[in-house]
Amino acid sequence: MLVVEDVSSLRVKLDEIPPETTVGFVPTMGGLHAGHLALVDASVAGCDKTVVSIFVNPAQFAPGEDLAAYPRTLDADLSHLRAAGVDMVFTPPPAAVYPSDFCTYVTSAVGDAATNAASEGASRPTFFRGVATVVAKLLVLVRPTCTYFGRKDAQQCAVVRRMVEDLWIGLTTRVVLVDTVREQDGLAMSSRNVYLAPQEREHASVLYRALCAGREAVDGGERDSDVVRERIRRIVAEWEATSKPPGVSFELMYVSICSADDMREVKGNIREDSGEVLACIAALMGKARLIDNVLLL
Ligand code: AMP
């Protein structure tokens, strides 16, 4: 497995790959867990060569967020990737991605504050500018046949899919979405779960339980989005009232029933003919900001 820090060396190595070879690309911020490795496995299974990037992207962290504290576990990450059969790992230093005169960013209106007040875009106003910019740069650099993203980050999937289409990157690269990998109790795996104190970790699966209750309502025939939203909120509120330990700080940030394509909030009834519909949730538990979603229809 080749580990490359330098942009032009990576391009030289990629250019040595014969043109008929398919290349899968998995962008990550490291701190790798089984969720990331599911993307890697999908790429290794689906493409001839697999390239992974590990880059903690400063542009997607707002001032005061956890850029400095973000888990960095490069040695362990590389041994996981080696074992998974990855061919190349790109680990650029920040200055290689954002030189001092860098001034061009990609922005997306998908799920921004103007289109959905209960979204990641609304909660973290500059986040998707950072994500879209680094993903665009990496896709232009690697020019993969397929690129793999986790459904865990629903708005990221929507932003990337739309960006790839809008910027014609999709003419050469297909975006493949991979299902969320969960801990045994249902908590979605995330690099940030290491921030959870033991008592918080014990209770963090309440978000998934609440989402599942919403999905059960839809499975049972419920179509009123207000009822489904309320059902999800009620599970969280009941947990807060009856089970939350006093030492666990918790704030529900949003519950959203929205279209997976454009992240617009569903008003009124959930329609069966309007593409995938998601229930999304975000909450602060202790120091960890947790997000999750499930497919409703
Ligand atoms: P990150 O390192 O957090 O930027 O994530 C890199 C990629 O892994 C993104 O496409 C994420 O959506 C995906 N990912 C993170 N956690 C999971 C998970 N639990 N299941 C599936 N994919 C995930």
Whole-Å CA distances, 156 to 9, 95, 114, 120, 197: 28, 24, 17, 9, 27
Provide the pLDDT for residue 93: 98
With residue 36 as reference, give the H or E element that holds it. helix 34-46
pLDDT digits (tens, 9 = 90+) for 260-297: 999 999 999 999 888 999 999 999 999 999 999 999 99
Q: Is 130 touching ligand 1 by the criterion CB < 6 Å?
A: no
Say which of 33, 36, 80, 203 is annotated catalytic. Answer: 36
Q: Is 191 touching ligand 1 by the criterion CB < 6 Å?
A: yes
Q: 293 C-alpha to center of ligand 1: Å?
A: 13
Provide the pLDDT for residue 274: 84
Provide the pLDDT for residue 150: 98
Q: Which atom from ligand 1 is nearest to the alpha carbon of 148?
A: 10
Residue type, 119: S
Q: Is 180 touching ligand 1 by the criterion CB < 6 Å?
A: yes
Q: 199 C-alpha to center of ligand 1: Å?
A: 24
Spatial separation of the C-alpha atoms in residues 72 and 125, rounded to whole Å: 25
Q: 149 C-alpha to center of ligand 1: Å?
A: 7
Q: Is 178 touching ligand 1 by the criterion CB < 6 Å?
A: yes
Q: Which atom from ligand 1 is nearest to the alpha carbon of 152?
A: 12
Could you tell me the strand order of the sheet in which 88-90 lies?
2-4, 88-90, 49-54, 23-28, 146-150, 174-178
**Longest alpha-carbon distance in the chain:** 61
33 is catalytic: no
Tell me the backbone φ, ψ of residue 59, rounded to 5 degrees.
-65, -15
Q: Which atom from ligand 1 is nearest to the alpha carbon of 149?
A: 10
Return the closest-CA partner of residue 21 out of 50, 1, 41, 42: 50
Provide the pLDDT for residue 115: 86
Q: Which atom from ligand 1 is nearest to the alpha carbon of 192?
A: 3
Q: 50 C-alpha to center of ligand 1: Å?
A: 16
Q: 179 C-alpha to center of ligand 1: Å?
A: 10
Spatial separation of the C-alpha atoms in residues 50 and 42, rounded to whole Å: 10
Whole-Å CA distances, 66 to 24, 58, 71, 94: 29, 10, 9, 16
Give bridge partners of residue 156 from the DSSP assignment.
none
Per-residue pLDDT of the chain (297 residues; tens, 9 = 90+): 999 999 999 999 999 999 999 999 999 999 999 999 999 999 999 999 999 999 999 999 999 999 999 999 999 999 999 999 999 999 999 999 999 999 999 999 999 998 899 999 999 989 999 999 999 999 999 999 999 999 999 999 999 999 999 999 999 999 999 999 999 999 999 999 999 999 999 999 999 999 999 999 999 999 999 999 999 999 999 999 999 999 999 999 999 999 999 999 999 999 988 899 999 999 999 999 999 999 999
